């Protein structure tokens, strides 16, 4: 398995391997690339057994400390439940479903303050998970695509960063040519990484879409600890676009920090001075109720993000099941934020724009078409009028 060590030289401090994949090429590649790193083997994929085998997690106490310590631990396991569908439960939020390909899950080694995976997975599985057995995954995908009468795009960046671990796992060099050789299969890779040089010569045949999550450089420096700076991400997107890849961007979450209009105006200008994304998705800061309720303990004290969260409230009235949707800024402020950024984008491009996990009335206020949702996670579009 060829796997170039590129710009992102991160290595875990501890590798835990399921016995079933002890000799898998993915495992051997990771261990070889991380020479000197402690390796432990487990016969069970249960979280408690993995954590018991970790010297790092065994001696770490406290919620936030465990989350951060777990970013130094990589678990490599079998290809179980790797392919599934994502569908948001609260359908008052406009969010089209999509097919997921979980080559990695439980997050990555970046420490972005607002990442929902801090709570969604890491309270139970506070370690990075990588799934091996690529041949087995290829077989499953081939069967699904052969049985499908439609094109299918698989999102590999919803449970983890698609490229941050690629210098160790070699996932891109395995799956990009695979999808490039299918008539109806597409791969969607969402990332903050600049880890692309080893992908530029691959026969993608237009069947891999690379998308970058970006933010205003000043906001990124404050809240996206460990992730490459904005400039490096845009440069990586430029190199990928020059190699013929389809490029998309997420400007998300937009935060109304001091002088936010100037910051995001300059960010949009810098995006389009270097790349021509085929579509963009925008989002504001938003959290699930559980995340919101833990705002005093889930953020790093020095980040200051809790101060913005204090200004948030439920997006909806409580429904029959007691749900209030996500917590975010009030509707008027969200419309103001989106209106401003969309106007700035339109100075440079007519590309499709979507807004992420938002209310239908916000779409209406912005004059956006719910029947033609062209989010970056969709191969084409989705009708969200229902």
DSSP letters, 326-385, are: -EES-HHHHHHHHHHHHHHHTTT----EEESSEEHHHHHHTT--GGGB--TT-SS-B---
User: Hey, where are the domains in the chain?
Assistant: 14-372
pLDDT of residue 119: 83
Residues with Cβ within 8 Å of residue 352, at least 6 apart in sequence: 278, 279, 280, 374, 381
What's the pLDDT band for 8 if we cut at 50, 70, 90?
very low
b/e map of 287-303 (b: 16 or more CB within 10 Å)? beeebbebbeebbeeee
Residues 6 or more apart whose CB falls under 8 angstroms from that of 35 comprise none
φ/ψ bin of 61: left (φ > 0), alpha (ψ from -120 to 50), beta (otherwise) = beta
Read off the pLDDT of residues 249-308 as tens digits, 9 standing for 90 and up.
Answer: 999 999 999 999 999 999 999 999 999 999 999 999 999 998 999 888 888 888 889 999
Give the three-state DSSP class for 234. Answer: helix
Q: Which residues contact 140 (CB under 8 A, 6 or more apart)?
A: 79, 82, 83
Percent of the chain whose predicted confidence (pLDDT) is above 90: 87
Tell me: pLDDT of 6 over 70. Answer: no
Q: Which residue has the tokens 């490599």?
A: 76
| Tens-digit pLDDT profile for residues 59-73 | 999 888 998 999 999
Considering only 72-81, 133-142, 293-302, which range has the smallest mean pLDDT?
Answer: 293-302
Tell me which fold the domain 14-372 belongs to. pyruvate-formate lyase- activating enzyme (3.80.30)
Tell me the mean pLDDT in the region 143-167.
97
pLDDT for position 284: 97
Q: Which DSSP symbol is given to 236?
A: H
Q: pLDDT, tens digit, for every residue of 331-380? A: 999 999 999 999 999 999 999 999 999 999 999 999 999 999 999 999 99
2 pLDDT tier (thresholds 50, 70, 90): very low
What is the pLDDT at residue 64? 87
> Is there a contact between 203 and 174 (Cβ–Cβ < 8 Å)?
no
Q: Which of 110-119, 120-129, 334-343 has the lowest mean pLDDT?
A: 120-129
What letter would DSSP give residue 229? P
Q: Select from 64, 56, 74 the least CA-distant residue to 17.
A: 74
């Amino acid at each position: 398995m060829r796997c170039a060590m590129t710009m992102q030289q991160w290595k875990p401090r501890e590798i835990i391997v399921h016995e079933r994949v002890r000799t898998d090429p993915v495992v051997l590649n990771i261990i070889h690339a991380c020479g000197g790193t402690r390796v432990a083997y487990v016969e069970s994929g249960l979280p408690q057994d993995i954590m018991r085998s970790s010297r790092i997690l065994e001696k770490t106490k406290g919620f936030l400390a465990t989350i951060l310590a777990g970013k130094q631990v990589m678990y490599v396991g079998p290809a179980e439940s790797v392919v599934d569908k994502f569908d948001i439960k609260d359908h008052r939020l406009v969010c089209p479903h999509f097919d997921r390909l979980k080559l990695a899950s439980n997050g990555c080694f970046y420490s972005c303050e607002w990442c929902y995976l801090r709570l969604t997975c890491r309270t139970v599985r506070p370690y990075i998970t990588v799934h091996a057995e690529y041949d087995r995954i290829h077989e499953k995908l081939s069967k699904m695509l052969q049985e499908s009468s439609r094109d299918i795009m698989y999102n590999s960046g919803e449970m983890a960063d698609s490229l941050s671990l690629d210098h160790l796992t070699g996932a891109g060099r395995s799956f990009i040519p695979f999808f490039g050789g299918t008539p109806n299969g597409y791969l969607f890779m969402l990332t903050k990484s600049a880890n692309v040089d080893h992908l530029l010569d691959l026969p993608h045949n237009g069947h891999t879409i690379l998308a970058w999550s970006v933010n205003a450089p000043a906001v990124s420096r404050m809240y996206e600890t460990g992730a490459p700076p904005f400039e490096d991400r845009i440069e990586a997107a430029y190199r990928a676009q020059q190699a013929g890849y389809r490029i998309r961007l997420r400007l998300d979450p937009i935060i109304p920090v001091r002088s936010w209009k100037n910051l995001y105006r300059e960010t949009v200008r810098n995006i389009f001075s270097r790349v021509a994304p085929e579509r963009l998705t925008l989002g504001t800061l938003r959290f699930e109720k559980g995340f919101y309720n833990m705002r005093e303990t889930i953020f790093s004290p020095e980040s200051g993000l809790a101060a913005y969260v204090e200004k948030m409230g439920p997006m909806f009235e409580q429904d029959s099941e007691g749900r209030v949707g996500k917590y975010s800024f009030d509707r008027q402020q969200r419309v103001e934020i989106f209106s401003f950024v969309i106007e700035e984008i339109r100075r440079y491009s007519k590309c499709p724009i979507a807004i992420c996990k938002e209310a239908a009335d916000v779409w209406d206020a912005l004059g956006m078409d719910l029947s033609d949702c062209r989010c970056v996670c969709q191969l084409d579009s989705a009708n969200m009028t229902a």
